[in-house]
Amino acid sequence: MNLKKMYLNKFRDAFKNRKQILEGIKNNIFKKEHVEAEAAKRWKLCKECPHLDTKGDKCMAPGTQPCCAECGCSLKFKLRSMSSDCPFEFWKAVMDEETEETLNQYLDETTNK
């Protein structure tokens, strides 16, 4: 597969997964203890993965390394998207987006009392 087609495929996949990407960005900005704990577990697995791209050659967005060479996602965000899976099944989603939103609302309500 040529480089141009590879990037077009990654862009198409990124568009399909835009909610998960935004979830990861949100969770990276507004840190939650349970999300950071899960991201740390995932990162431990990713560090050992042969598809880890630390240089950024396969990243969807330049300068967002480390990323997954398979999907091109920045791991800074993908690891914090609780509704995302590893493309190689090294780790799975722990909840869907709706459940995560409900949990976050509950945690916000209980910590603000």
Q: Is the pTM of this model over 0.85?
A: no
Mean pLDDT of 101-110: 75
Two tokens at 82?
């609780």
The pLDDT, as a whole number, for residue 12 is 72
Report pLDDT for 44. 97
Integer Cα distance of 38 and 2 in angstroms: 35
Q: At residue 109, does pLDDT exceed 70?
A: yes
Residue 15, CA atoms < 13 Å, CB-side half-sphere:
6
pLDDT attached to residue 15: 67
Q: Which domain holds residue 36?
A: 3-111
Mean pLDDT of 29-52: 96
- Tell me the three-class secondary structure of the chain, residue by residue: CCHHHHHHHHHHHHHHCHHHHHHHHHHHHCCCHHHHHHHHHHHHHHCCCCCEECCCCCCCCCCCCCEECCCCCEHHHHCCCCCCCCCCCCCCCCCCHHHHHHHHHHHHHHHCC
How many domains does the chain contain in total?
A: 1
pLDDT at residue number 17: 74
pLDDT at 40 over 80: yes
Output 100 or 33, whichever has higher pLDDT.
33
pLDDT at 98: 78
From the CB of residue 49, how many other CB atoms can be counted at a distance below 10 Å? 15
pLDDT digits (tens, 9 = 90+) for 76-96: 999 999 999 999 999 999 977
